[in-house]
Structure 1
Amino acid sequence: MDLFVINRYRDPEEDVDLINQESKQLQKLKQKIEERKRAHSNIKRQDVISLREDKAPSIVAVSKNQPENDTEIEGTSNDLKDSKARETQPDTHQTTVKEKSTFEFKVLGTENFEKKIKVHRVLPYWLSHPYSISTNLQKLSCTVEDLDWLHDTLKGTLRSEVQEQVIPFVIKENEQPHPFWPHDICVSAPTGSGKTLAFVLPIVQILMNSIGHHVRAMIVLPVQELAAQVSKVFKKYCTNTGLKVVLLSASTPLRKEQQQIVRYTESAGWISEADIIVCTAGRLVEHIQNTEGFTLKHLKFLVIDEADRIMDHIQNDWLYHLDRHIKLENELMTGKVANLSWNSLSEQNPPPHKLLFSATLSQDPEKLEQWGLFQPKLFSAAPTNDFEDEDSIRKFTTPDELVEQYVQCNAEDKPLILYHFLVEQNWDKVICFTNAAQSAHRLTVLLNVWGKGNLKVAELSAALDRSTRDMVLKKFTQSEINVLVGTDALARGIDIPDCYYVVSYDPPRNIKTYIHRVGRTGRAGRVGHAVTILQHNQMHLFKECARAMCTRQLA
């Protein structure tokens, strides 16, 4: 307020003093302005705040070099106004907005609108370059008579096509001279494509001329039903070979199993009664810890069937106990660990040749690392070029003979649609999957009431004991039962002959469950049909799962 002077009741003689006083006040104002400019020039202020270059908007701030409280100069003199205007006008270089900021501030929520950078994983060479396996078993060019690498005894028992790639590879790897170790293998192929024979035949052929009483092959499976099934296959192909196969599972008392696998002799001490052991993971740990004379120091083959399921649920940490047992047995036999030399390498027993099989084998290097594979090789039914794309790493396959479809309907129409398939379309040998044992029971009762004796529907779930499940499966195989309604307990690995149709009454929870469900039909080159019944709100999730398969689009 120093600039404003009230000129009331003043004489003309006092005008000169007034002008001098105003000049002094103006000089003071100029001095304050210059001081303020110098003070603001020493403070480095950010004029532009850039959130993210080329993507997020920039917040521009006007230069702060102007005085914060500029006041309009009013006075009686025009020269005073012009002078004040020149003083208060900012320089052009002070209002220039900086083009680039040295600081970035994150605004919450902007990442939802940005395209994320795609990260390409670099897989090991053996995972990115697998050996191709055909998914069409009806067009295989190789016949049993052309299998020069297969023994005549096995040819006489073999009745169907087998994996042309895996079996000769395993046989060739085990023909290498000592101390060269064979490459471990991982096999990812559709269900029903002959994965069991892919490890049964080479193991039997390699061990059939073995000398001595030792456990030389062990096959580990996740559940008792699968172990019993694989044991039957081994016993079938071990006919006339002199090899003895023993099944170890919770279905037999531990004491009885101990008498089947070991025997004490006066001359040689404890000897093995079994050449090949088929077992569940939990039962194996029990025998390692409790069975006297049980040793695996001569183990030549270690097969893990349904490897992804065992990988996700390692029972009793069986792999640790197995590796520790083999290591301790070798140290007791050879003494302390010797220095690295040709003699020590020649005398050292090689580790078991590991063979991993599954229709939904994980191709994650971190998960596969826990198996301790030696220079592994991958055999996959997925197209080779799909492994070059990061989005296709975890794709799975279904057989070419399998016809896959889905039906979209309301929840109240699902039983009617299933009844239409069974009665109007005359579907026979049908397996229907639900997500709960209670749902399976209710659907079984409903279909039997509607069928009025024309439909023979039975329930098959984990709620039933093993003997009852075996009896139901036997009646289904003998056509005494037309429809099996069950849960995913029978979806994995169990071979059910002549199953023509698979119906997913409830949608599968994930892609692995879907692969194992539809794998109950279309096996060993036979044509099969798979139908999934979906509600409207389940379509999006099911299509997302279908993108993880290397198959044709579902109709």
Structure 2
Amino acid sequence: MDLFVINRYDGFEENEIKNQESLHLERLRQRIEERKKAQASQKNLNKQSNNEVIHDNKQGQSDEVITIKSTSKVDDSIAEKSKEIPEIKSYKSNEYKKSTTEFKVLGSHDFEKKPKVERVLPYWLSHAISVSKNLQTLTCNVEEQDWLNKTLKETLLSEGVTQLFPVQEQVIPFILQEHSLPSILWPQDVCVSAPTGSGKTLSFVLPIIQILMNDVGHHIRALIVLPVQELAAQVAKVFRKYCTNTGLKVGLLSGSTPWHKEQQQILKHTESLGWISIVDIIVCTAGRLVEHLQNTEGFSLKHLKFLVIDEADRIMDNIQNDWLYHMYKHIKLDDQATNKIAQLNWEFITNRRAPPHKLLFSATLSPDPELLEQWGLFQPKLFSVSPISDSLDKSLMKKYTTPDELKEQFVVCAAEEKPLLLYNFLIEENWDKVLVFTNSAQSAHRLTVLLNVWAKERKKVAELSSALDRSSRETVLKKFNLSEINVIISTDALARGIDIPHCNYVISYDPPKNIKTYIHRVGRTGRAGNIGNAVTVLLQNQIQMFKEMIQSGGKSDITQIEFQPEKLSNLIEGYQVAIQATKHTINDEINTKVRKSIELKRGPKSKSRKRKHNDIKK
């Protein structure tokens, strides 16, 4: 018996397979042709209906196949084969249904553009309390306000404050009134959107001090969160000034002092009470707050009564270390922490600890409800200098405001003319107390060196950027206030919240990247009712983008400065000499840094080599 059966190939099967494939292809071609003809006949039927929409037959006649009477033999064969091929039948019925129910036939009907759906703002955003931005005619005399504490009145008068600004006149009484209600009625949270220099800081400093001074204890009861160290130090200074003769103490947590010193300044351990707080009010940066919450023993916010977020939009955009999550987790109520469902009775209502009263302040507060939702505001009340409409698209809240005393302008020049133009403003036109903004620390340093070489003794120019440490920045600001420095070249690190007294001019040497940065830059001048001037230097290809940015903020009254090119041509010779000297100075600085870094790297090695050499000698 053979193990394997051998069938010889005679070639017939291959021919049969080829014949079958050709038959399948032929049938497929026929079906395609039949479908094309069916589609053509259906189109002819639609044309004969004079572009009218065919309505469905309510008696179920739409399920029947439409047959087309034709005198030609081709159409008869199509009708007969359509009965044999179910695909064509279903295709025809589906085409009929689509034509009767879903599609309009183009021709006699005009299509209208759908109206744009406008997003509706929450009630509290669209019904804000309007605040005047006129700082020239003040009507709120400090001595006549009965709701203001006598001690605070005396401090205000000693500081030369005799009239309150409009935002202070509106916000302070509202906060005091909310805390005069019974404890079961939680105070409404407050949001304030007002121009820079309009007195927002005193709007929360005065009411917090007046409410807390009647109940001095050993707990942290007010927390003020700010985005940068300089602004935190400035606000802490204001708090300490007005806490005089009140018994309240203020602590600063910003990283400006060592970690262990900050702990000693705010906490103390006792045998009877354990850890207690030395301060009642803490001013801090967001990142430093998280570090103390996680690592400082005894640091507690369980008795927090006020939570103030200054420059709220910047903190919203850049939440450092997710500080809001850690703070909420730390101050969470007992029943919330354990997820225990409490009984709703009078004892629960009267003994329930209220959340901290939130106060949000910014010159560019976002109207986006989604961003504001993260704060968990309780029945918030908005104070704004701009009228608010019901619609987010038409809302003027997103259109930022600046003081009436601020004059805004722009000037256009070529890139190589920018240093000449700046020198013309500072030296030839003798602008004094000027703050110049650039977009990088490197550019600020290079421009500072150039102006010091070029202007020599005529103007004293100093740099203020992140490249300097905190003490150096404070020294520069102090000298500027004392007029020992005439011009500060700065980056946007100084553009938010810092109060620079008597700043007459702000020059944006590099244009701002967005409308918020522009508002905060120009807000360094024209503060507290003083006259200010802001100038933005633009290249020709930056004009359109700058105008669009300004219009997005609701501003259109910025004028252009016209200058004579002949004035700049006279400065070219001196500029060429100054630029060469600047290059040498910067190269010397680079070489010095390289030399120091090499010495630092070689220092320990060279010492160890000397020790080995001495040991060998011994």
TM above 0.5: yes
Q: In structure 2, the residue corresponding to 1:547 is in which secondary structure?
A: helix
Q: In structure 2, the residue corresponding to 1:492 is in which secondary structure?
A: coil
Structure 1 residues 324 and 385: alpha-carbon distance in aligned structure 2, compared to 1, 3 A threshold = closer
Question: Once the 2 structures are TM-superposed, how far is the Cα of residue 101 of structure 1 from its aligned partner?
Answer: 10
Please show how residues 449-464 of structure 1 align to structure 2 within 5 Å: 449-464=453-468
2: CA distance, partners of 1:219 / 1:105: 65
Q: Does structure 2 retain, via aligned residues, the 8 Å contact 1:238–1:244?
A: yes
Q: In the alignment, is residue 400 of structure 1 matched against residue 404 of structure 2?
A: yes
Q: In the alignment, is residue 135 of structure 1 matched against residue 139 of structure 2?
A: no
Structure 1 spans left out of the alignment, 5+ residues: 1-34, 49-63, 71-98, 107-113
Please show how residues 66-465 of structure 1 align to structure 2 within 5 Å: 102-103=102-103, 117-158=115-156, 159-160=160-161, 161-162=164-165, 163-327=168-332, 338-384=342-388, 390=394, 392-465=396-469
Q: Which moved more, 1:380-389 or 1:206-215?
A: 380-389
Match of 1:489 in 2: 493
Structure 1 residues 46 and 118: alpha-carbon distance in aligned structure 2, compared to 1, 3 A threshold = farther
Structure 1 residues 484 and 361: alpha-carbon distance in aligned structure 2, compared to 1, 3 A threshold = same
2: CA distance, partners of 1:226 / 1:329: 34
Q: Which moved more, 1:247-256 or 1:221-230?
A: 247-256
Q: In structure 2, the residue corresponding to 1:481 is in which secondary structure?
A: coil
Kindly provide the CA deviation profile for residues 340-392 of structure 1, in whole angstroms up to 9, marking residues without a partner as x.
11210111110000000111111100000000000101111113459776263
- Residue type of the alignment partner of 1:118: K
1: CA distance, partners of 2:72 / 2:401: 71
Structure 1 residues 526 and 45: alpha-carbon distance in aligned structure 2, compared to 1, 3 A threshold = farther
Match of 2:597 in 1: none
Q: Number of aligned pairs?
A: 469
Question: Once the 2 structures are TM-superposed, how far is the Cα of residue 471 of structure 1 from its aligned partner?
Answer: 1.1
Q: Which moved more, 1:402-411 or 1:261-270?
A: 261-270
Match of 2:570 in 1: none
2: CA distance, partners of 1:548 / 1:320: 32
2: CA distance, partners of 1:410 / 1:262: 58
Q: Does structure 1 retain, via aligned residues, the 8 Å contact 2:121–2:390?
A: no
Q: Does structure 2 retain, via aligned residues, the 8 Å contact 1:297–1:330?
A: no
Kindly provide the CA deviation profile for residues 400-447 of structure 1, in whole angstroms up to 9, marking residues without a partner as x.
111111112222222122111112221100000111112112221222
- Residue type of the alignment partner of 1:539: I
1: CA distance, partners of 2:518 / 2:232: 22
Structure 1 residues 233 and 102: alpha-carbon distance in aligned structure 2, compared to 1, 3 A threshold = same
2: CA distance, partners of 1:260 / 1:65: 100
Q: Does structure 1 retain, via aligned residues, the 8 Å contact 2:550–2:556?
A: no
- Residue type of the alignment partner of 2:330: H
Question: Once the 2 structures are TM-superposed, how far is the Cα of residue 335 of structure 1 from its aligned partner?
Answer: 11
Q: Which moved more, 1:141-150 or 1:176-185?
A: 141-150
Q: In structure 2, the residue corresponding to 1:292 is in which secondary structure?
A: coil
Q: In structure 1, the residue corresponding to 2:533 is in which secondary structure?
A: strand
Structure 1 residues 386 and 420: alpha-carbon distance in aligned structure 2, compared to 1, 3 A threshold = farther
Question: Once the 2 structures are TM-superposed, how far is the Cα of residue 44 of structure 1 from its aligned partner?
Answer: 5.6
Question: Once the 2 structures are TM-superposed, how far is the Cα of residue 100 of structure 1 from its aligned partner?
Answer: 11
1: CA distance, partners of 2:220 / 2:387: 37
2: CA distance, partners of 1:386 / 1:424: 50
Question: Once the 2 structures are TM-superposed, how far is the Cα of residue 485 of structure 1 from its aligned partner?
Answer: 0.8
Question: Once the 2 structures are TM-superposed, how far is the Cα of residue 304 of structure 1 from its aligned partner?
Answer: 0.5
1: CA distance, partners of 2:543 / 2:45: 52
Kindly provide the CA deviation profile for residues 32-79 of structure 1, in whole angstroms up to 9, marking residues without a partner as x.
xxx99x97797366968xxxxxxxxxxxxxxx9999999xxxxxxxxx
Match of 2:524 in 1: 520
- Residue type of the alignment partner of 2:402: T
Structure 1 residues 340 and 455: alpha-carbon distance in aligned structure 2, compared to 1, 3 A threshold = same
Q: Once the two structures are aligned, what percentage of the paired residues are identical?
A: 67
Q: In structure 2, the residue corresponding to 1:232 is in which secondary structure?
A: helix
Q: In structure 2, the residue corresponding to 1:139 is in which secondary structure?
A: coil
Question: Once the 2 structures are TM-superposed, how far is the Cα of residue 317 of structure 1 from its aligned partner?
Answer: 1.1
2: CA distance, partners of 1:535 / 1:67: 78
Structure 2 spans left out of the alignment, 5+ residues: 1-33, 48-67, 75-98, 107-111, 560-618
Match of 1:80 in 2: none
Match of 1:472 in 2: 476
Q: In structure 2, the residue corresponding to 1:187 is in which secondary structure?
A: strand
Q: Does structure 1 retain, via aligned residues, the 8 Å contact 2:226–2:310?
A: yes
Match of 1:22 in 2: none
Match of 1:529 in 2: 533
Question: Once the 2 structures are TM-superposed, how far is the Cα of residue 132 of structure 1 from its aligned partner?
Answer: 1.0
- Residue type of the alignment partner of 2:354: P
Q: In structure 2, the residue corresponding to 1:178 is in which secondary structure?
A: coil
Structure 1 residues 530 and 174: alpha-carbon distance in aligned structure 2, compared to 1, 3 A threshold = same
2: CA distance, partners of 1:492 / 1:65: 82
- Residue type of the alignment partner of 2:375: W
Question: Once the 2 structures are TM-superposed, how far is the Cα of residue 338 of structure 1 from its aligned partner?
Answer: 2.3
Structure 1 residues 213 and 45: alpha-carbon distance in aligned structure 2, compared to 1, 3 A threshold = farther
Q: Does structure 1 retain, via aligned residues, the 8 Å contact 2:461–2:489?
A: yes
- Residue type of the alignment partner of 1:439: S
Q: Does structure 1 retain, via aligned residues, the 8 Å contact 2:119–2:392?
A: no
Structure 1 residues 303 and 104: alpha-carbon distance in aligned structure 2, compared to 1, 3 A threshold = farther
- Residue type of the alignment partner of 1:510: N
Question: Once the 2 structures are TM-superposed, how far is the Cα of residue 211 of structure 1 from its aligned partner?
Answer: 3.9
Structure 1 residues 41 and 275: alpha-carbon distance in aligned structure 2, compared to 1, 3 A threshold = closer
Question: Once the 2 structures are TM-superposed, how far is the Cα of residue 337 of structure 1 from its aligned partner?
Answer: 5.0
Q: In structure 1, the residue corresponding to 2:343 is in which secondary structure?
A: coil
Q: In structure 2, the residue corresponding to 1:165 is in which secondary structure?
A: helix
1: CA distance, partners of 2:252 / 2:436: 30
1: CA distance, partners of 2:511 / 2:457: 28
Q: Does structure 2 retain, via aligned residues, the 8 Å contact 1:245–1:277?
A: yes
1: CA distance, partners of 2:384 / 2:303: 30
- Residue type of the alignment partner of 1:224: Q
Question: Once the 2 structures are TM-superposed, how far is the Cα of residue 336 of structure 1 from its aligned partner?
Answer: 5.2
Structure 1 residues 45 and 523: alpha-carbon distance in aligned structure 2, compared to 1, 3 A threshold = farther
Structure 1 residues 391 and 297: alpha-carbon distance in aligned structure 2, compared to 1, 3 A threshold = closer
Question: Once the 2 structures are TM-superposed, how far is the Cα of residue 450 of structure 1 from its aligned partner?
Answer: 2.1
Q: Does structure 1 retain, via aligned residues, the 8 Å contact 2:125–2:388?
A: no
Question: RMSD across aligned C-alpha pairs, in angstroms?
Answer: 3.0
Q: In structure 2, the residue corresponding to 1:271 is in which secondary structure?
A: strand
Question: Once the 2 structures are TM-superposed, how far is the Cα of residue 145 of structure 1 from its aligned partner?
Answer: 1.9
- TM-score when scaled to structure 2? 0.71
Question: Once the 2 structures are TM-superposed, how far is the Cα of residue 524 of structure 1 from its aligned partner?
Answer: 0.8
Q: Does structure 2 retain, via aligned residues, the 8 Å contact 1:295–1:329?
A: no
Structure 1 residues 115 and 197: alpha-carbon distance in aligned structure 2, compared to 1, 3 A threshold = farther
Q: Which moved more, 1:156-165 or 1:419-428?
A: 156-165
- Residue type of the alignment partner of 2:506: V
Question: Once the 2 structures are TM-superposed, how far is the Cα of residue 495 of structure 1 from its aligned partner?
Answer: 0.9
Kindly provide the CA deviation profile for residues 156-209 of structure 1, in whole angstroms up to 9, marking residues without a partner as x.
222333311111111111111011000001111111111110000000000011
2: CA distance, partners of 1:309 / 1:68: 79
Please show how residues 494-513 of structure 1 align to structure 2 within 5 Å: 494-513=498-517
Question: Once the 2 structures are TM-superposed, how far is the Cα of residue 102 of structure 1 from its aligned partner?
Answer: 4.8
Q: Does structure 2 retain, via aligned residues, the 8 Å contact 1:184–1:373?
A: yes
